[in-house]
Amino acid sequence: MPRTQPNIIVTGTPGVGKTSQCELLSTNTGLKHLSINQIVKDRGCHDGWDAEYKSWIVDEDKLLDSLESEVPTGGYILDWHACDLFPESWIDLVVVLRTNSTKLYDRLKARNYPEKKLQENLDSEIMEVLLEEAREGFDAEIVVELRSDSTQDLEGNMERIVAWIENWKKDLVGEEDG
């Protein structure tokens, strides 16, 4: 049975504004915001804590197993810094948020990221690692790159994604009628 609500991944380097964007989208669309970091922690989808990076060591198999009864039914916004582990069949839109490296540095510094982790994330953003990962893992037609430098960007992105959802639903109804 086809989904009646889309699944969207909002991805990007830590600090680009994924959680803020997902919360705004969830409030305005009724789609459920799934913070993958929180799920990893709450559902034990990890192999312990990495003290150097101050983060959980994700067990991707456990993570996917914990989501497979929910996400394929639709209606979710997945909030995580990676996207390529999720099956293509689960996902209808991949939003890659990007931000200016000076803003990113300031945001990560404010989070007290260890210097090595901060530099690796800056390098990742500059080298477009997550954008490339999205383009390699999903059809180009469902991957969109959006700026996330300001609250105006946040609002504009929300409007674009809401319009996309409305078109997705119209296309779904058109397929059912056809």
140 strand-pairing partners: none
Q: Do the annotations mark residue 124 as ligand-binding?
A: no
Residue 92 to residue 168: CA distance in whole angstroms: 9
Distance CA 163, CA 9 (A): 16
Query: Is 135 labelled as part of a ligand binding site?
Result: no
160 is in an annotated binding site: no
**Residue 19 counted as an annotated binding residue:** yes
Element holding 156 (H helix, E strand): helix 151-177
Distance, CA of 32 to CA of 23 (rounded, Å): 9
Contacts of 162 (CB under 8 A, 6+ apart): 25, 28, 29
CB 100 within 8 A of CB 12: no
The reply to whether 15 sits in an annotated binding site is: yes
CA–centroid distance for 2 within its chain: 22
Residue 30: count of CB within 10 angstroms of its CB: 10
Nearest-10 Cα torsion for 27, 28, 31, 34: -40
Annotated binding site for ATP: 15, 17-20, 111
Annotated binding site: 15, 17-20, 111
